[in-house]
Amino acid sequence: MPRNFVNLLCLLVVLCLTGAMAGSAFGQKEKLPKTPKIKEFPPATPTTEPPGFFDEGGVTSEKSMIVDSNVLVKLCVAHGELRINGWQRNEVRVFVKDGRNFRMKPLEKSEQGKVNWLWIGNVVEGRPGPSAECLAGESIEIDAPLGASLDLSGREVRTSVDSLKKVKVTIGSGAIVLRNITGGINAETGRGDVMVESSAGAISVTGYTGNVVITDVKSGQIGDQLKARTNTGAVTMQNVEHRQIDANSISGSILFDGKFLSGGIYKFRTSSGSIRVVVPTASSFTFTATYGDGELNTELPHKILTENITPQANIVVAKVGAGDATVNLTTTNGSISIAKQKVY
């Protein structure tokens, strides 16, 4: 067979095989990628607010509980405006607006089965955070029996309490207003003013960076003391009928407008501020005035017992009337004045 014919035949065989292979490849369908499987989770069920300090639940709720007439109510408030009022019911009612869920838990009951120690706090689930057990809300209102006592702690709270028997308040920041407390007061705020009106019993008030105002108060029993303290504010006392008063300010003035009772002991001290005493003309007390950069002025007739003038301080001891009460007035940088009460 001629060589040229053989070569032509081989070429035809190769071309046929190549065409067959191309046709086979062209007719084959392209495989699409598989659709990935997506795992579906069930919808989350609503839960209570997570623990924390400023956890806002936005819940408005109200609860109440029958209690003993002399119940002790204990609670903590993280922040908000708090108003507590006494009423003529043996029941504690709590209303929280736009705040946390809360619960009322009896801590102790009397022999008659009445709740005489009640705790009010936030509903906490899971791992609690700082102050998670404290109430919080835009406003919190509590009604309690007139004979109830209050033990309140808080962080940033504007507090108003009216017509309870006894009150203890300790908060970090916020003003405190207490009215018609009949059995004693212990109030302290780190930042804010403190006002006490128309109350009785032993009273201790501290406003570290605010003013202290005390009006129309008296002792409940023999030996009750009145203590008022502020670091950077003024102390004002009007119509105060305690026989033992201790008022202090570091950088503020002190004003006393009232009566020095027979046998009473009164101590007024400030480091940088004036001291002003306004008493009736017929008062009877012995005073010791100690002052540095300032002067002593008195409108009442008095008899100087001793006078010691030094570059460091001036110390004057004098008697007004029979000298029945003992009064100590001390300022490092300020003046001392004793004035007559005006008669209307």
Query: 62-101 pLDDT, tens per residue?
Result: 999 999 999 999 999 999 999 999 999 999 999 999 998 9
Report yes or no on 147 lying in a domain: yes
The residue among 196, 231, 252 that closes a domain is: 252
Query: Strands, E, within 54-99: which ranges?
Result: 59-66, 72-87, 91-99
Report yes or no on 165 lying in a domain: no
Is 343 in the same domain as 259?
Answer: yes
Q: What is the DSSP letter of 6?
A: H
Residue 62's pLDDT is 96
Bridge-based pairing of strands 115-122 and 176-179 is unpaired
And the tokens for 202? Answer: 């032993």
Is 192 in the same domain as 139?
Answer: no
Report yes or no on 144 lying in a domain: yes
Is 221 in the same domain as 234?
Answer: yes
Residue 100's pLDDT is 87
Report yes or no on 6 lying in a domain: no
Is 275 in the same domain as 244?
Answer: no
Domain tally, the chain: 3
From residue 241, give the alpha-carbon distance in Å to each of 36, 155, 162, 168, 246: 85, 32, 20, 21, 13
Is 282 in the same domain as 214?
Answer: no
Show the low-confidence residues of the chain (pLDDT under 50): 1, 5-6, 8, 11, 13-33, 35-55, 127
Could you give the CA distance from residue 295 to residue 340 in angstroms, rounded to a whole number?
18
Round to the nearest angstrom and report the end-to-end CA distance of the chain: 153
Is 244 in the same domain as 281?
Answer: no
Residue-number span of the structural domain to which 214 is assigned: 175-252
Bridge-based pairing of strands 149-162 and 166-173 is parallel
The residue among 230, 252, 274 that closes a domain is: 252
Report yes or no on 58 lying in a domain: no
Residue 22's pLDDT is 45
The helix or strand, by DSSP H or E, that contains position 13, with its residue range, turns out to be: helix 3-27
Report yes or no on 170 lying in a domain: no
Burial classification of residue 18, based on how many CB atoms lie within 10 Å of its CB (0-12 exposed, 13-18 middle, 19 or more buried): exposed
Is 87 in the same domain as 141?
Answer: yes
Contacts of 224 (CB under 8 A, 6+ apart): 184, 201, 202, 203, 242, 244
Number of alpha carbons in the 13 Å side-chain half-sphere of residue 18? 6
The residue among 252, 275, 297 that closes a domain is: 252
Could you give the CA distance from residue 295 to residue 290 in angstroms, rounded to a whole number?
10
Report yes or no on 87 lying in a domain: yes
Could you give the CA distance from residue 61 to residue 140 in angstroms, rounded to a whole number?
10
Report yes or no on 189 lying in a domain: yes
Is 90 in the same domain as 122?
Answer: yes
Is 279 in the same domain as 211?
Answer: no
Please compute Rg for the chain using Cα positions.
39
CB 199 within 8 A of CB 185: yes
Is 261 in the same domain as 332?
Answer: yes
Is 240 in the same domain as 308?
Answer: no
Is 274 in the same domain as 322?
Answer: yes
Q: What three-state secondary structure class fits 249?
A: strand
The beta-carbon contacts of 183-188 under 8 Å, at least 24 apart in sequence, are 183/149, 183/220, 184/220, 184/224
